[in-house]
Amino acid sequence: MANNSLANIFAETQDTRLATPGMNRATIFSLLAIVAGLSCGVASFIFGHEAIYNNTREVPWGMLISTYAFWAITSTGLCIYAAISHLFGGTRMAIVSNRMVWMSIVCILAAFATIGVEIASPHRMIIYNILSPNPTSNIWWMGTLYGLAVGCMIVEFFGIITGLARIAVILGTMGAVAEILANSCLGGVFATLPARPYWYGGQLPIYFLTAAFLSGAAATILFNHLAYKIRKEKMSEAVRLGIKSAGKAMTLVLVLYTVATFWRLIMYYVGGAELGRIAAGALISGPLSINFWVFEIAVGLIVPLLLVIFSRLENIGMMAFAGLLILIGQFVARYDLVVAGLIVPESLGWDNVPTYLDYVPSIFEFGVIIGSISVVCFGFLMGERVFGKIFEQKEHH
Amino acid sequence: MNKKLVNAVGVTMLAGAFLLVSHASATEEYDVKAFGPKNPIVWDKPVKVVFEHRVHTDNAGLECSSCHGDIFAMQRGVAIQTSQLTMASLAEGQFCGVCHDGDTAFASDTNCSACHIVPDDPIVWIKPAKAVVFYHKIHTDEYGLDCDSCHNDAFAMKKGLAENSDNFTMKALYNGHYCGKCHDGETAFASNTLCNTCHIGVKGYNRMMGGVPHADKKSGH
Amino acid sequence: MNIKDLEKEKNEGLDLLPSEERRKFLKIGLAVTGVFLGGSVLSLTSVKSAKGGNSDSVIPAEGQYPYTKHYGMIMRQNNCVGCEKCVEACRETNHVPVGHGAWRTTIQERLTTVDGVEKREFRPILCNHCNRPPCVRVCPTKATYKDPETGIVVMDYKKCIGCKTCMAACPYNARYFNHDKYAIDKCNFCLDTRLGMGEKETACAAACPAKVRIFGDIKDKQSEIYRLLHEPDNAIWVLRPETGALPNVFYMNA
């Protein structure tokens, strides 16, 4: 009986137009890439984290943490836009909000997958996060709130596919609140460490939230564009208007984020701790300068802004490309933020330490990153295939 | 007046150049048969010692047979292999001590640096604490000390003797032993000050030995 | 009671309110805001009564030690000759693995040239067992905590999830990943290996030939560390005071 009703639900939500060999191949390919990425992560448990990942005593975090932050921030952004649409109904983005809820879940799962293999003993985390919680720990709150958020969103999504609009709205709101708080605590993880002047300070949580709004809008445009691309169909006018709204939001936040980035870096050069200034120098003219100027600034901010202006918010393809560039820029920005904070040695001036410590991600770390991207690809494809129909529905209330 | 000076300088220089040339031609005509091997003999054991045949033949006017036969064999390395070539046996009138007795030639317990070479390399003690450096050169060249300023009073001539003694400690130095004989705050800086002038630590030692500073170099720094 | 009657009542004033009442009221407010702010607000009170000295002193003020004993160490830094006997003794006593940056204490070296003369300095470092330890605050599972008896920052290895946040949070690079324990490890002033066995000193302090490391209870007025800390002529400093961690490892020149 239960199976039957479940089958009925899927019968109503699945999009049979996507039951094509090409889709199947893409899905299987992304599944294989997940397995490969997972193997890289599992290798760390077999051979030891210190042997598999290029992290050291001085640089304990690297690309895995930054990628976790990237997906978590993107998830927050998607979730917030979806919740605003669901809650206030009237926004034009409401029409694509179901897809955003799904992609928000997918992104947070990609984040969990990444940090799951980054943490040395996740089994201890499951036990002692519950048995021995530390209320002063930002990372405890972050993990707990993201866990809560994904729980809320899964129930919300269940409400969406079963047509229980009330549940969907309530849980969606709770999920979004949890996501915002979790995102804030993620910023807090870095912002509350006086030992790392590059991270320390009240700006970072706001910066992360701004990044969430930016990545969320970019991901909304990109994934919706792709959804119609794989169906080889044209967007309906209502969806177009929704995407244009997302484009407006993206443009606005792009400017805000640029301003925040500018002031954030200027701050280090007017005084304050030496280590912070040296870390900023890593971006401006040091080992991360190509990442910063080419990927963060040019690819991630300037080119997308120009593309959005040229598209006049009409050319969805161009805007989707801008969204992709923003996501790439954001990915690199998170990497630079994490790495710059750590590669400045605390023992500067002693032991002849170099101004910047070496950190280059290992091949296994790259493997995990490819795996996490594949989680998002797989999630996207499966979502379109299994729940495609409700992604095109009007608001569910 | 000025012209005279210039002339004088010119003549002196000419004479000097001529002398140099004639000296050079003299070296070219070095007579191995009369003066013995041209290059100095360098003994590494028990410590580094240099012997120049020419100083003894050309300058001092000795014949080959003055030494070779009874005192030193003609073959290379025989004296060393006997293990008898020590300062103690010299003092008893053997080997160089036959002549270097204070009458025929300067006594073997004087004028050390005539034969002994002051080591360029520092001594690096690793006991009781790793590691302490001592530079002979600084003490002889910069502070004008003689070998017998320290040997055999503060330090015996024998290598490793101080290091293997239980008494080679800072406390002994404070009591005027070893380096403390001079490093008392009056003759030289007191041995309880400027620690890291001599103490180079494990890191300094490893660097000096060209090794890896730390076992955990990879992520140490 | 009529509201108008209330107006006639004399204002008691805040001064007359028992401090306990006020504290209770504040606590309600704190509880409400605290739950949301979670990490950030509560973190300021993680070790409630521990304080530094005056704003311009790094020495803990008298009567401000919340622990039964309050262990600390003072380094007579210029006496250090870098022989690393402390490092060896620590490695042996506490089974610190070799490689992958594993050490609980180490000696840093600095070479500078002053007036053409090369100057060599050594500086021993180890966990500073801070009064406001950033590592303890950030640990999600309380795997690292201040020992209530001694104030020593210790590890409960089985609770460590290996998130490495404490390593990022530590201003002193005092933490490392111990493969054998598969957890983060650090100096614990030999609490389990020596102090717990009745020894009075840490392995490193005992091994030092130059008496660089003076270990003891900074509450004990008879202790050498107390004497050195409160000697008016001694210039005492701590490492990275700007982080506000209130370290219990002090430095001076003998």
* B131 and B57 part of one domain: no
Q: In chain A, what residues touch B220 (CB-CB under 8 Å)? A: 57
Q: In chain B, what residues touch A351 (CB-CB under 8 Å)? A: 203, 221
Q: Which residues contact A166 (CB under 8 A, 6 or more apart)?
A: A159, A397
Higher per-residue pLDDT: C47 or B65: B65
Q: Which chains touch A (3 or more CB pairs under 8 A)?
A: B, C
The reply to whether A62 falls in a domain is: yes
Instruction: Write the ipTM.
Output: 0.92
C155 min Cα distance to partner chain A (Å):
14
> Is residue A89 predicted with pLDDT exceeding 80?
no
C99-134 pLDDT, tens digit per residue, is: 889 999 999 999 988 888 888 999 999 999 999 999
Q: What is the pLDDT of residue B212?
A: 53
- β-pairing verdict for B49-51 and B123-125: unpaired
* B97 and B140 part of one domain: no
Whether residues B218 and C100 touch (CB distance < 8 A) is answered with yes
Q: What is the pLDDT of residue B216?
A: 41
Taking residues A97-115, what's their average pLDDT? 95
Across A56-65, B188-197, C10-19, C113-122, least confident range: C10-19
Distance CA A333, CA A337 (A): 6
CB A138 within 8 A of CB A173: no
Quick one: tokens of B165? Answer: 């003694």
Across A119-123, A349-353, B85-89, least confident range: B85-89
Quick one: tokens of A248? Answer: 């407006």
> Is residue A91 predicted with pLDDT exceeding 90?
no
* B92 and B143 part of one domain: no
Whole domain around residue B104: which residue ranges?
33-114
Q: In chain A, what residues touch C125 (CB-CB under 8 Å)? A: 347
Interface test with C, best of A68, A129, A132, A134 (most C CBs within 10 A): A134
CB A86 within 8 A of CB A97: yes
Quick one: tokens of B29? Answer: 């005509």
Examine the fold and report which residue of B72, B89, B114 is the final residue of a domain before the chain moves on: B114
C52-108 pLDDT, tens digit per residue, is: 555 557 787 776 677 888 999 999 999 999 999 999 999 999 999 998 899 999 999
Whether residues C134 and A195 touch (CB distance < 8 A) is answered with yes
* B138 and B211 part of one domain: yes
First vs last Cα of chain B: how many Å apart? 71
Taking residues A111-120, what's their average pLDDT? 96
Quick one: tokens of B131? Answer: 């590691």
> Is residue C2 predicted with pLDDT exceeding 80?
no
Q: What is the pLDDT of residue B23?
A: 53
Q: Which candidate, A77, A63, A68, A92, places its Cα nearest to that of A326? A: A77
B51-75 pLDDT, tens digit per residue, is: 888 888 888 888 888 888 888 888 8
In chain B, how many domains are there? 3
Whole domain around residue A250: which residue ranges?
2-391
Q: What is the pLDDT of residue A79?
A: 94
CB C66 within 8 A of CB C218: no
* B80 and B13 part of one domain: no
**Would you call A11 exposed, middle or buried from its count of C-beta atoms within 10 A (0-12, 13-18, 19+)?**
exposed
Quick one: tokens of C250? Answer: 């002090």
In chain A, how many domains are there? 1
* B98 and B151 part of one domain: no
B38 in A contact zone (CB under 8 Å)? no
> Is residue A141 predicted with pLDDT exceeding 90?
yes
Q: Which residues contact C59 (CB under 8 A, 6 or more apart)?
A: C52, C53, C229, C230, C236, C250
Q: What is the pLDDT of residue B132?
A: 93
Number of neighbours of residue C52 by Cβ within 10 angstroms:
20
B113-150 pLDDT, tens digit per residue, is: 788 887 788 889 998 899 999 998 889 888 888 888 88
C139 in A contact zone (CB under 8 Å)? yes
Give the distance from CA A263 to its chain's centroid. Answer: 23
Taking residues C157-175, what's their average pLDDT? 97
Give the distance from CA B71 to its chain's centroid. Answer: 24
Q: What percent of chain B stands above pLDDT 90?
A: 19
Q: Could you tell me the pLDDT band of residue B218, with boundaries at 50, 70 and 90?
A: very low
A395 in B contact zone (CB under 8 Å)? no
Distance CA B23, CA A15 (A): 106
Distance CA C178, CA C158 (A): 12
B140-182 pLDDT, tens digit per residue, is: 888 888 888 888 788 887 778 888 888 899 999 999 999 999 9
Instruction: Tell me the sheet residues that pair with C75.
Output: C213, C251
B131 in C contact zone (CB under 8 Å)? yes
> Is residue C45 predicted with pLDDT exceeding 90?
no
Q: Which candidate, C4, C127, C147, C2, places its Cα nearest to that of C70? A: C147
CATH number at residue A334: 1.20.1630.10
Distance CA A339, CA A64 (A): 11
The reply to whether A397 falls in a domain is: no
Q: Which candidate, B200, A21, A44, places its Cα nearest to that of C82? A: B200
* B143 and B164 part of one domain: yes
CATH number at residue B204: 3.90.10.10
Instruction: Tell me the sheet residues that pair with C121.
Output: C110
CB A316 within 8 A of CB A220: no
Domains of chain C: 14-45 (no CATH), 53-252 (3.30.70.20)
Q: Which residues contact A158 (CB under 8 A, 6 or more apart)?
A: A164, A167
Q: Which candidate, C254, C207, C250, C252, places its Cα nearest to that of C84? A: C207
* B130 and B206 part of one domain: yes
| Radius of gyration, alpha carbons of chain B | 24
Nearest to A193 among C134, C143, C162 (CB): C134
